[in-house]
Structure 1
Amino acid sequence: MFINLETTKSVQEVRQAVEDKAKAKGFGVMSVHEVSNILKNKGVPIDYECVIVEVCSPRHASQVLSKNPLISTAMPCRIAIFQRDGKTVISTIAPTAMLEMYNEPELRPIAEEVEKLMKEIMEESI
């Protein structure tokens, strides 16, 4: 269900690499959430660095949204980058796992392609 990788790079190094690799693979970077900073500024800090990068492939998004607008509830794809046990973890929910919620089996090839690209982005970022 999850795609998880670890690295010794910093959260910010991985964040920048994810943004660069996503763009190189035709994804747009929709937003970056500095979660740990946001929580700290709200007075409820966490004790590790956490960033979420939201990415989206316009071509794939158009294909799935043309079939079922409810899939927009799972978009854009989110890649979490956080510290855990002295390592930096990069993690996302597998698009094929998310697709199961929508009962659209004919969209599986698209989800598989997005998942392959997401894995490549993540692997190339560590």
Structure 2
Amino acid sequence: MYSVSAKVSTSFDDSIARVTEALKTEGFGVLSDIDVAKTLNAKLGVEQPPYRILGACNPQLAHQAVSAEPDIGALLPCNVVVRQDPDGTVHVLFMDPMTVLTLVDNPKVQELASEVRERLDRVLAAISG
């Protein structure tokens, strides 16, 4: 599986705030915030439930990754998706760094992937509770 996810019991907007704060606790900042629903509505006139992609980055870990594998920027930042189903259920998911970074044949990157995964698992635990 390429992602890890959880259903959350908070509203979409509250979930964005909680995810952002939990990421911050784990040393990640949000570098980008793509409002997919808004973009699709503006460009295609398509209505859909809220859907945002947060580009999360831990500068220290990103520096280590780029130092070990300069081309790894093609796989960064860590995408965190917050989306809402038509019934109102909110999901939070992130790309599984352990799966995606198997594309990189570098043991240092695999170690970093494990640390990133642990941190992102703690983010999910913090917002699921």
1:99 is aligned with what amino acid? L
Number of the residue aligned with 1:20: 21
After the TM superposition, list the runs of 4 or more consecutive aligned residues in structure 1 that deviate by more than 3 angstroms.
none
Contact 1:11/1:51 (8 A) holds in 2: no
Q: 2-side partners of 1:106 and 1:62: how far apart?
A: 12
Contact 1:15/1:81 (8 A) holds in 2: yes
- Give, in angstroms, the shift of residue 90 of structure 1: 0.7
Give unmatched runs, 5+ long, in structure 2: none
SS in structure 2 at match of 1:41: helix
- Give, in angstroms, the shift of residue 46 of structure 1: 4.2
- Give, in angstroms, the shift of residue 125 of structure 1: 2.1
Cα offsets for 1:26-76 (capped at 9, x unmatched)? 111101111101111113424221011111011111111101112111111
Contact 1:14/1:81 (8 A) holds in 2: yes
Give unmatched runs, 5+ long, in structure 1: none
SS in structure 1 at match of 2:92: strand
Please say if 1:4 is aligned against 2:2: no
Count of aligned pairs between the two proteins: 126
Q: 2-side partners of 1:42 and 1:51: how far apart?
A: 16
Name the TM-score, length of structure 1 as normaliser.
0.91
Number of the residue aligned with 2:61: 60
Contact 2:32/2:55 (8 A) holds in 1: yes
Q: Which moves more between the two structures, 95-104 or 37-46?
A: 37-46
Q: 1-side partners of 2:83 and 2:116: how far apart?
A: 22
CA RMSD across the alignment: 1.5
